[in-house]
Amino acid sequence: MKKTFVSYEKLKEIVKDYPTPFHLYDEKGIRENVRHLQEAFSWNKGYKEYFAVKATPTPAILQILKEEGCGVDCSSYTELIMSDKVGFKNDDIMFTSNVTPKEDFVLARSLNATITLDDITHINFLEETAGIPETISCRFNPGGDFVINNAIMDTPQDAKYGFTREQMTEGFKTLISKGVKHFGIHAFLASNTIANEYYPALARILFETAVELQRETGAHIQFINLSGGVGIPYLPDQDATNIYEVGQGVKKAFDEILVPAGMGDVSIFTELGRFVLGPFGHLVSTVLHEKHTHKEYIGLDACAANLMRPAMYGAYHHITVMGKENEPDDHIYDVTGGLCENNDKFAVDRKLPKIDIGDLVVLHDTGAHGFAMGYNYNGKLRSAEILLKEDGTTELIRRAETPDDYFATLDFSKWSKK
């Protein structure tokens, strides 16, 4: 059984000040989770978590993570601007992008961010547009299938990202000739994996590649970025990733591969947006309508514009009907939003307690890739974001959009009647 991080009584107080729908974040849970992550990798002197801004691009959340010693992983011009405004500087910013516009590289260089190149052709492109820094990272794609315990976890050969193995060697040699002195290696081979074996298996691939690259090119490999992919248990019967077991698994690979090769000074980086934030966000909504046709439908004031994952991926997000946590799940509903799209459903044939108009509903695990993936289809407006602070008070950290925001990029004077 998944439990909410906010009580029904507290939520009733919150909705008096902030109309639903809104995304609610748990500051206490976020801070505690980051500290567990850092403790799990404390064996590595240079360890740093670079939070993936794309997961939750909200300055107040980034500020919390900054206070906890995290850096940021950016992938676009505006994410770089946001990170700079929050106060992240220099090597606190990792810039990992693909199909990168010139302007993005120029801004990343001006901020002295650590740049990860996605393709060997980007070496010359970066040199021509912004210059080559002394420290740079390259993203590695080993191709084939990524397998753990005889199970295919993902298929890197189909991913658009990264250098091939041969290109890594060629790229390192080219970059050395252009003045690069320190290197990083980055890879992302599977998404939302709750298997404790994922990071250690990825680490072994990258550690072995790093040893080979150092021998082949003489490059000084300063850091290895395990990127993201460590997931969260969206389903109530799933076990959460044991980050301490993960950390020890990576340490074992480190001690067995890098240390004997004289590379025990390599720093380990992570970019765990979903793991860090996912469980500590709720989408809070109110039941607007019920419909009785071929199926039983419950209509919320939230829709896929507020949480796209169920409509886009068929992803499961657990639902709690507040105040009815102990009632039997003896009704079957499709829980929907109001978009003119049939896939605008948060749940299909979900067993829930009897739901009434006006009930408060919480959709779990929306702290990452929740608000961030919002959009304005059907003219729907993005919702507010609220922070539940450690002392129990709340703070509006992003107001809800208004129609004026929606129309801000248009000039109606050409069509307005005088």
- Token couple for 258: 């890098």
Q: How far is CA 35 from the centre of its chain?
A: 18
- Contacts for 255 with CB less than 8 Å, ≥ 6 apart: none
CB 196 within 8 A of CB 252: no
What is the secondary structure of 42-66 as a DSSP string? TTSTT-EEEEEGGG---HHHHHHHH
- Contacts for 16 with CB less than 8 Å, ≥ 6 apart: none
What is the secondary structure of 74-134 as a DSSP string? E-SHHHHHHHHHHT--GGGEEEE-SS--HHHHHHHHHTTPEEEESSTTHHHHHHHHT---S
Distance in angstroms (rounded) separating the CA atoms of residues 397 and 388 = 10
Distance in angstroms (rounded) separating the CA atoms of residues 179 and 246 = 36
- Token couple for 264: 């025990």
Distance in angstroms (rounded) separating the CA atoms of residues 337 and 11 = 21
The three-class DSSP label of residue 144 is coil
Candidates 70, 138, 303, 340; catalytic one: 340
- Token couple for 309: 């994952």
138 as an active site residue: the answer is: no
CB 394 within 8 A of CB 387: yes
Rg of the Cα atoms in the chain: 23
Q: Say if residue 105 is exposed, middle or buried (CB neighbours under 10 Å; 0-12, 13-18, 19+).
A: buried
Neighbouring C-beta atoms of residue 167, cutoff 10 Å: 17
Q: How far is CA 32 from the centre of its chain?
A: 18
149, HSE (Cβ side, Cα atoms, 13 Å): 5
Place of tokens 């404390």: 42
Residues serving a catalytic function are 340
